[in-house]
Structure 1
């Protein structure tokens, strides 16, 4: 009975989301800010374009859905394909190569180490939106994932944040201070630049909201507005959520990834997020068919996706506590909320990597259906579910296809036209100039890569970019250039072939029809634009044999040698001694 009730509730929740299509969002007059507005910037980790309920996802996200109805939701917003570059662009308004975070340290080839733009910290002179707002009298706070540098001078306290409680790594366990991959020895958390530790009772989404509320309340008597950057760990690997949220999706994903991909594509068309002409690429032949899995594997993977949805719902629930607190303290009506994701869904299958299962065991992780998502468990969705979640687009995180770049984006609050959707192009570098413009600091945006979307979100303008203007992206060879309706894209192995392709996103956002052969003049012109972008921003060519997944393994192994080199050396010496002794013993036993 409980499962049936949960299914009914899930259906009602999804129906509510579907009813809130862009065409049906209630129109409201935008309220004017009482003074300088507060800002809450919410960054979800690895959320796909359709993961929020308002975008047609299965997870219950009533808080995010409510904010979307209060403001403007974008259907054509793009981030970078990888977390740290996206975060650098988000917080600075600059191209990632100009910030020092061209890629992430976990995938950096040795040839790029230390080169300009590839230092893996925010470079000297790079100014964040928090720096600028702080100088203008804003109170500035951050909780969550930083991933823009480690150590003194590289953490939020040195980049404009008055108070911060952050994880400096790409991810970590959501229940305690355990690292999530062999690249890290520990999960390091910092408060105001000093190494600190988590409480015994900890769940990431809950704690990050609690600490943010504490920071805001500490300065409650101030007349100065605040900027709050809330960078959730949800839904990054390891995917983890309390059982009460995961159980809401116990039956949601049992039909498999092909069914989900088809359903999401049709839902996106019905919601008006994409044109009716859209086709979705089928799963690549190298991916597994759901029907080919054993019954046990189907149960495990369906539960993994249920945990993924549960983690999103848990995040939304705790975000709701911040919203309720701001309402109770009279601050909500003067607060602008921006909610987005850093990139598309995570395709990694870590247990397929040599030695990873052993590493999991050594760190107390298990991957069993019975407690999946709970303390001590390790869940992930893998490439097939990531491809399904990225529907109606192609590929996922790491790659420059729409599945890796196009993500949800909404802005809500005073001075913003409510109940509206926009198909205008927007990019991650536009967030900082938009915030500064809304804060009355538009003079500080002149040297930035991005531009303010204020005209679009206020309803005063239809677009922020003219059809002839080109916008480029590059992370670890995965590259894209947008110009009007056209997109030039290159995806590297293993899921791409490294060739340049051309698509008309106005009719083919699924990137199913390569126009490179049909429109050679557009291809050549956009290749020239990309070359200008790459030269202007200091993009380095990759080594010829570079493979991003192999590089992760190599870099993780090198880090393990750094962490445990003397233990490895001791074992090696001991092993050599045993072998040498054995050979000598055997030789001594031979008849002369």
Structure 2
């Protein structure tokens, strides 16, 4: 297994390359979108994408338009082959810990290893105490977590947060909104009810909160709140403007910007971990009978220079609503478009605060699109996600498309390098910092990337890939749909280099393929962990 080891000299040199002459620590914003395959972003050049009901289409009306992300990708850089896990829980575990499932034990959403005491799931901050929040804090950053959580958050040392809970409110009657699906028992059977209509639902879904329209929103450690966690709206002003027209991603961004403004004015470096729900399908409370998977967003328009947003207007109740044409059609393309609008808002905020040249912006996603790649071990359908890095204040040696391999586990060591933090050699990290690749003449970032799906493993190099069904592919050239690589059935018909890389990958897999032999946490955990070190 790979142990992350860096000398103080290397980190110091790289850090001096990254920071501009004023020797000021860069702010970092990491926007981790939900269930968005690389193919959904036009910059990746796919000839197919997802229609509103899921699946695959070439219909141009469902192709997203992302002028801002395109610009950031071209002026910064984007990685052509970035991988996560195949589904959200394990991918978020990879992002939050920088480690694979053999360590944190989140093999799949419904397949998680037991804690050392044999009871319940092992919390990520217990299995992996040098989490993304711990590393950022050690680097001197003020920290903010916005959006989806989907895990126990108590042990992560984020300073503040604004959450639209992703795990569902279940039967908790949160007073701010009845947009939730909940379980009820009738005649000995469990049914899922729409709390808004007070009727059972008749299409497949799961218990969930409403995180888009009239959302469930929770604040953590907000400076004006008296308690650690409060449900928003929590004062007369916010209650007066909250309603059916309130869009959860807008609320997240509002509180994120409030945090950024406060820290920028205090000249305090910040790290924002924005785990947006945008991209994730959901029950459409405004259109409960729709066949589409992704509720619409507020309408936006791009004139070539700026976005204009139509103020949403929604009236009605009990599942019958009128949006007066202010909300887009259903579909993931609408979500990707709205993410582009929010990235534009981020760029404007940085510029207004005078921090645009000292803020690093990273855009990525947790796994493939629902109805296409999510939870799929086939080819790289479930693992292939976008990764864009925009850092105008860095001396980037890489610009535009990078035919490189990267992994979501790489973000923690990258943040450690930016913050001048040394992760101890004794602590296993499976990611590799992107800083050497981005800021020097280093030709390659990684030799291979890895993913997991329950008991299966997925791995690829530059030439070959093995998916979760143990099918091998020749990945030396990208197909137009980004997944239909030629299958290798006769190894004598590929090059010696292909066979050599296969042999290397076959030696790597056993290091991490421990589902059958080490599914749960070891008794007593991993023992004492050496501390993070802040470099001078």
Establish whether TM, by shorter chain, passes 0.5.
yes
Query: What's the counterpart of residue 195 of structure 2?
Result: none
C-alpha separation between the residues in 2 aligned to 1:76 and 1:404?
A: 12
- Displacement after TM superposition at 1:63 (Å): 2.2
- Displacement after TM superposition at 1:396 (Å): 4.7
Structure 1 residue 440 corresponds to structure 2 residue 420: yes
Query: What's the counterpart of residue 471 of structure 2?
Result: 501
C-alpha separation between the residues in 2 aligned to 1:313 and 1:515?
A: 37
Structure 1 residue 346 corresponds to structure 2 residue 370: yes
Query: What's the counterpart of residue 163 of structure 1?
Result: 160
C-alpha separation between the residues in 2 aligned to 1:344 and 1:61?
A: 18
Structure 1 residue 211 corresponds to structure 2 residue 246: no
The correspondence for 2:33, drawn from 44, 47, 54, is: 44
C-alpha separation between the residues in 1 aligned to 2:254 and 2:473?
A: 44
C-alpha separation between the residues in 1 aligned to 2:264 and 2:232?
A: 26
Change (3 A) 1:176 1:412: farther
Structure 1 residue 135 corresponds to structure 2 residue 138: yes
C-alpha separation between the residues in 1 aligned to 2:119 and 2:402?
A: 33
SS, match of residue 457 in structure 2: strand
TM-score, normalised relative to structure 2: 0.64
Verify the 8 A CA contact 2:29 2:271 in the aligned structure 1. Answer: yes
Q: Which runs of 5+ in 2 are unaligned?
A: 1-16, 47-62, 171-175, 183-191, 193-205, 211-215, 221-227, 234-241, 283-293, 304-326, 493-498, 521-536
Change (3 A) 1:477 1:40: same
SS, match of residue 25 in structure 2: coil
Aligned length: 391
Which one has the bigger strand percentage?
2
Structure 1 residue 184 corresponds to structure 2 residue 239: no
C-alpha separation between the residues in 2 aligned to 1:456 and 1:59?
A: 30
Deviations 1:546-590 (A, max 9, x none): xxxxxxxxxxxxxxxxxxxxxxxxxxxxxxxxxxxxxxxxxxxxx
Structure 1 residue 196 corresponds to structure 2 residue 225: no
- Displacement after TM superposition at 1:439 (Å): 2.4
Query: What's the counterpart of residue 578 of structure 1?
Result: none
Deviates more, 1:329-338 or 1:457-466: 457-466
C-alpha separation between the residues in 2 aligned to 1:464 and 1:117?
A: 39
- Displacement after TM superposition at 1:49 (Å): 0.9
Change (3 A) 1:314 1:333: same
Deviations 1:47-85 (A, max 9, x none): 121222333473122222222122111101111111121
C-alpha separation between the residues in 2 aligned to 1:439 and 1:524?
A: 37
The correspondence for 2:379, drawn from 401, 414, 426, is: 401
- Displacement after TM superposition at 1:37 (Å): 0.4
Change (3 A) 1:477 1:316: same
- Displacement after TM superposition at 1:309 (Å): 1.2
C-alpha separation between the residues in 1 aligned to 2:155 and 2:265?
A: 25
SS, match of residue 163 in structure 2: strand
Verify the 8 A CA contact 1:63 1:316 in the aligned structure 2. Answer: yes
Change (3 A) 1:240 1:523: same
Query: What's the counterpart of residue 126 of structure 2?
Result: 124
Query: What's the counterpart of residue 63 of structure 1?
Result: 68
The correspondence for 2:267, drawn from 217, 223, 242, is: 223
Q: Which runs of 5+ in 1 are unaligned?
A: 1-28, 249-302, 348-385, 387-394, 492-499, 542-592
Query: What's the counterpart of residue 236 of structure 2?
Result: none
- Displacement after TM superposition at 1:119 (Å): 1.5
SS, match of residue 241 in structure 1: coil
Query: What's the counterpart of residue 52 of structure 2?
Result: none
Alignment of 1:323-402 (within 5 A): 323-347=347-371, 386=372, 395-402=373-380
C-alpha separation between the residues in 2 aligned to 1:70 and 1:398?
A: 32
C-alpha separation between the residues in 1 aligned to 2:358 and 2:256?
A: 17
Change (3 A) 1:465 1:143: same
Which one has the bigger helix percentage?
1
SS, match of residue 215 in structure 1: helix
SS, match of residue 490 in structure 1: coil
The correspondence for 1:480, drawn from 458, 463, 468, is: 458
Query: What's the counterpart of residue 82 of structure 1?
Result: 87
- Displacement after TM superposition at 1:134 (Å): 1.1
Query: What's the counterpart of residue 244 of structure 1?
Result: 299
Verify the 8 A CA contact 1:246 1:311 in the aligned structure 2. Answer: no
C-alpha separation between the residues in 1 aligned to 2:77 and 2:261?
A: 28
C-alpha separation between the residues in 2 aligned to 1:405 and 1:319?
A: 23
Query: What's the counterpart of residue 72 of structure 1?
Result: 77
Verify the 8 A CA contact 1:145 1:231 in the aligned structure 2. Answer: yes
Query: What's the counterpart of residue 515 of structure 1?
Result: 488
SS, match of residue 507 in structure 1: coil
Verify the 8 A CA contact 1:141 1:164 in the aligned structure 2. Answer: yes
C-alpha separation between the residues in 1 aligned to 2:271 and 2:100?
A: 22
Deviations 1:337-368 (A, max 9, x none): 11111111101xxxxxxxxxxxxxxxxxxxxx
The correspondence for 1:423, drawn from 403, 427, 430, is: 403
For the aligned residue pairs, the C-alpha RMSD in angstroms reads: 3.6
- Displacement after TM superposition at 1:485 (Å): 2.0
- Displacement after TM superposition at 1:447 (Å): 2.9
Verify the 8 A CA contact 2:279 2:336 in the aligned structure 1. Answer: yes
Deviations 1:103-139 (A, max 9, x none): 21xx338xx6658898163151522122122123211
Query: What's the counterpart of residue 6 of structure 2?
Result: none
- Displacement after TM superposition at 1:449 (Å): 1.0
Verify the 8 A CA contact 1:86 1:342 in the aligned structure 2. Answer: yes
SS, match of residue 81 in structure 1: coil
C-alpha separation between the residues in 1 aligned to 2:377 and 2:32?
A: 19
Query: What's the counterpart of residue 235 of structure 1?
Result: 279
